[in-house]
Structures are given as C-alpha cells and as structure tokens.
Chains A and B, each alone.
Chain A
C-alpha cells in the first residue's frame, strides 16, 4: 500500500529526471498540494472522492506546467545544481504557501471507502487501502502503455535518451519537458490525494515522501520508470518487514541503509544502465 504511493511519486521523479535532468525535490510538496486539493474538493464543495482525485491530478498537472515554464526552463542551461536549488526554493514556497493558506493543523480526507472493511485471504484491510493499490497499479499500467505505445510517449523517451537527437528529429523538447512535468506533478498530486484518508494532510507531509521517492529512484536506477515502480514496492516491503522483525524505531532507517549498501555493490542502481 505504502509502496504504491512511493512508486507513484518515484515514477514522477524518474520521468522528470530522465527528460529534464532536474532532481525535482518539490514533488513531495506537490503531493501535499494534491492532498489539499482533494480535501477541499470534498470538504468545501462536497464532491465525491473520485472527483476529488481527478481534480488533484488536473490542478497539479497545471501547476507542473507552470513550474516547468517559469522556473525550470530558465535554469535549464545552468549547471544541474541550480535546478536543485530552484526545486528547493519551490519546496519552501509550496510549504509556506500551504502553511499560510491552510494553517498547520492536520486534516483528514473523509473517504467513504475508509470505513468499509474487507477480508482478502484472511487479512483484514479497509477498502481505502485496497483502492490505493488498485488506482496506483492502474495508473502505472496506463503510464507504461502511454510511454511505450503512443507517439507522445515515444517523444518523451526520445527526449530522455538523447535531447539533441530528439530536437533533430523535430521533437519540441521544451514542450515535451512541460508535458513530462505535468504528468509527474499530476502523479504526485494523486498520490497525495490517495494517502490523505490514511495518513493526514499537512504542510510538511511531502518531506518524507520525496526523500523516499528519491531513494527509490536511485535504488531502481535514475531515470528508469520500471525501476521506480519496483523500487517503490521493494521499499514498502522492506519497511513493513523491518518494522515487524527488527525494530519499529528504525523503520525509516532501513530504506536508507539498504540504499547505501545496494549502491556500494551496484553503483548504477538495481535496474539502471551502467
């Protein structure tokens, strides 16, 4: 379940990194914004949870487009570290915007699916948790098909593999970057809206998410979308098992310890190209 959330955000990180070469640390904050969009759609406008999810994707995709155009495009030619600083600035902007606009209190998205319990193979879980997994997996499959089989998907892959070659083939790489950013941000937004009913929505909720998403992208191999997905589930499993069999206190540390160990053996990540 947690693995699905991680995998969604990590996919965004991997795509944006692949195409734009920017480590977008603000994606966690975008997940947070997505959570708020869903929260207000339901609390203020009394929309169904499904509509709230859709709204968080759309709003965040628009945010992503704007961010690419006004913030990352101007620094595209500077050293990569500058994109990193811009993303960091953006993180400050988003988090403090949320803090001012929505306050620091924790909010829970009241999903109708959170109270229904179901039993699968002897394990009890709420419908919401199942829903998270189903939606996340559906999105992943959709993304995979999109990237693999559509013209736009091919253009994104081309831009990631060789930006100059893509330009020579007549691909408008800047527009592709915008689209990638929109998709990545939309994925983060829906991840935030999905976790809202289980965890809580609050201004700094994106911090741990994004750090773990980065660990996953690195674990899976930078820029590899399949790696991001598998990495997300591996991390979710490791955390759950580690918390159960080793120590709850150090739950968050396993991921990072394993990352350092994996990289010491396989510097290009599990699924990365050498």
Chain B
C-alpha cells in the first residue's frame, strides 16, 4: 500500500489528474454526484479512522457531520462571521462533542458502543429540529452564502461562487485529510490505534493508554466529519435537521465497509462507487433503491473485506508465488 514504488506514485498522480479533470468530462448531474462523492469521502475517511483503524463502530458521524455544518452555517448567517473563521469553530465544536460522547461511551464494548452512538446521533438531530429559535427547526437554514473570497495580493481574489470552485475546495480538503490520516496511521499513534483494534487487552498490558488513544482518534475523526459538514453546507446552501440524522451515519458506515474497512483507499473507493451507482441504476427508475439494497447484500456476501480488501487479497494471491522465491 505504501507508495514506495514508482508505479504507485504514478497511480496516485493519475487519480489526482483524473479528479482535477473530471468536472470537464461529465454532465451536470454527474458533476453534482462527484462533488457529493468528494464531500462524503471526507466523512468516510474520518469514520475509517475510528472504525477501520481503531475498531470502533460509530454511528454518530452523521451527527458530527451535521454539527459541523450547522455551526458554520449559523455563525455565518446569524453572527456574520467570516466563513474561514467558522471552519476551526465548527471542527472544535464537533471535536468537543466527540470528546464528551467519547468519555460517556468509549468504555462500552462492541454493539453497546454502536447503539449508544446511534442514540446520540438521534438526540442531536432532534435537538436541531426542536430548538427552533436557534436552528430554524424543520424549516432548516436556507441561503447559506458561499465561502468568502480569499484576496490574492495583486492578483485579484479567489472566489467560490461557482460549483466548480467549490468542487476544487472540497477536493483540496479531501487531499489534506488523506495526508493527515496517512501521517497519523504511520506514526506511533497509528500503531497504538492498530494495537487497540487487534487486541485491546494486550495493548493495554503493553502500556497503551486505551482511553487516551481512543478519545484522540474519536475527537480527531469527529472534527474531520464536522469539516465535511461545513463543505456540505456551503455546497448545498441549505441545511435541514435530516442532514444530521442517522441515515447519514448509516451511509458513511456503508461506504466504508463496501470500500474496505481499515484500508487507506477503501473509504474513497466505496464512496465513489456507492454514490455514483444509483446513477447507473437510473434505467430501472423506481426499482433503483430496491436494487441498491440487493446489490449491497450481494457485495457484502461475496466481498466481505470490501472492494479494496478484495483486490488486495487477489493481489496477494497473485504475488504469493514470485514472492516465495525471493530471499
């Protein structure tokens, strides 16, 4: 997986060029899906950090996503903040809530943790819906302005009114997040998280501070999910309590598992695949979601390690023989 060889560097560059060129190759609707896929990829990547690398199934990421989105949108529309200043605020709010939730629930095992995070997500979306004075309730926040232009000294300014500009903004953020996760999982922290995922008891015996590392991963991941939410809010320009609801959390889990849990590229592959799939199923019209469900079941049955996991297994099988002859 590590880009040691020239081939993988080339492959990454190829994907990057493709991602930059993509808006000019597709029609309007596919472009919209592309932007969504990039934003969702950020969420899926953040979720992968806790789910894939630390082994905590969180269903609260839809809520973190929504909280980030709401924090930024409210600060811009109600308090007149500069958009760029709301990003750290939104991430901090999401991270802080992540810490609180983490303190309450991280001691729980397996499904207990999953269902607690699920309940938490539901509480958040309920609060967003019922706290009418602040959040406009079920009507949602409409006409969220695009990001404030960045002045480039002497060269005019960088504006974000067009969807294209916001696509590149989201892409840039995704790349930053990926670099961050890459650095994190290949650091001492990443090794500690991996140890926790594989065997919690053994990890704690070896002196890994379970609570500290889990909280760290959880809050970082929550902040990243909040960031994805901010991008979503300025792309869609409208927010509604549903955006923080449990379905987003479910979808994020689905993307990660379909792509390949605990693999670096898995969340992105899964997201792009699952977000664009309905588009290809459009010929079936009303039966689209029904087929999506069936496909999901078939995929999880035959590719239990996800797309990337499956490819890696095939690759390893193919490489097994030549590798054996090497010293």
Contact = CB atoms under 8 A, between A and B. Distances in A.
Whether A and B are associated in the same complex: the answer reads yes
Contact of B116 (A88, A94, A263): A263
B286 interface: yes
A78 B115 contact: no
B304 A218 contact: no
B290 A92 contact: yes
B310 to A, nearest CB: 12
A93 B126 contact: no
A252 B304 contact: no
Contact of A260 (B104, B111, B257): B104
Interface residues of A, number: 45
B304 A75 contact: yes
A154 interface: no
B114 A23 contact: yes
A267 B112 contact: yes
Interface in B27-80: 57
A81 interface: yes
A97 B112 CA distance: 31
Contacts of A255: 119
A89 B120 contact: no
B297 A93 contact: yes
A121 B234 CA distance: 57
B287 interface: yes
Interface string B109-150: 111101110111011001100100000000000000000000
A68 to B, nearest CB: 13
B292 A92 contact: yes
B116 A211 contact: no
A79 B111 CA distance: 13
B261 interface: yes
Q: Chain B interface mostly helix, strand, loop or mixed? A: helix
Nearest to B122: A256
B118 A100 contact: no
Contacts of A82: 257, 300, 304
Given A92-B290, A218-B111, A250-B126, A259 B300 contact: no
A85 B246 CA distance: 14
Contact of A85 (B116, B123, B253): B253
B112 A256 contact: no
A92 B112 contact: no
B211 to A, nearest CB: 14
B130 A260 contact: no
A23 B290 contact: no
B250 A260 contact: no
B57 A81 contact: yes
Contact of A218 (B57, B116, B287, B290): B116
A88 B109 CA distance: 21
A89 B293 contact: yes
B249 to A, nearest CB: 11
Contacts of B126: 250, 252-253
B115 A75 contact: no
Contacts of A111: none
**B interface residue count range (under 10 / 10 to 19 / 20 to 34 / 35 or more):** 35 or more
Contacts of A96: 287, 289-290, 293
B294 interface: yes
Given A79-B304, A256-B120, A257-B123, A263 B257 contact: no
Contacts of A85: 253-254, 257-258, 296, 300
A260 B119 contact: yes
A81 B119 contact: no
A252 B122 contact: yes
B115 A215 contact: yes
A268 B107 CA distance: 10
Interface string A95-113: 1110110000000000000
A227 interface: no
Given A81-B261, A215-B119, A255-B119, A89 B107 contact: no
Interface in A192-221: 211, 214-215, 217-218
Contacts of B293: 89-94, 96
B10 interface: no
B274 to A, nearest CB: 11
A265 B261 CA distance: 31
Given A92-B290, A96-B289, A256 B119 contact: yes
A254 to B, nearest CB: 9
Contact of A267 (B101, B108, B289): B108
Listed from nearest, the 6 A-B pairs whose CB atoms lie closest are: A92-B293, A89-B296, A256-B119, A93-B293, A78-B304, A89-B297
17 contacts: A23-B111, A85-B253, A85-B258, A86-B300, A89-B300, A93-B297, A96-B290, A100-B290, A211-B246, A215-B115, A252-B122, A259-B115, A263-B108, A264-B104, A267-B107, A267-B108, A268-B112
Given A84-B57, A89-B296, A211-B119, 13 more contacts: A23-B114, A82-B257, A82-B304, A90-B297, A215-B119, A222-B111, A252-B126, A256-B120, A259-B119, A263-B104, A263-B108, A267-B109, A269-B112
Interface of B: 57, 101, 104-105, 107-112, 114-116, 118-120, 122-123, 126-127, 130, 246, 250, 253-254, 257-258, 261, 286-287, 289-290, 292-297, 300-301, 304
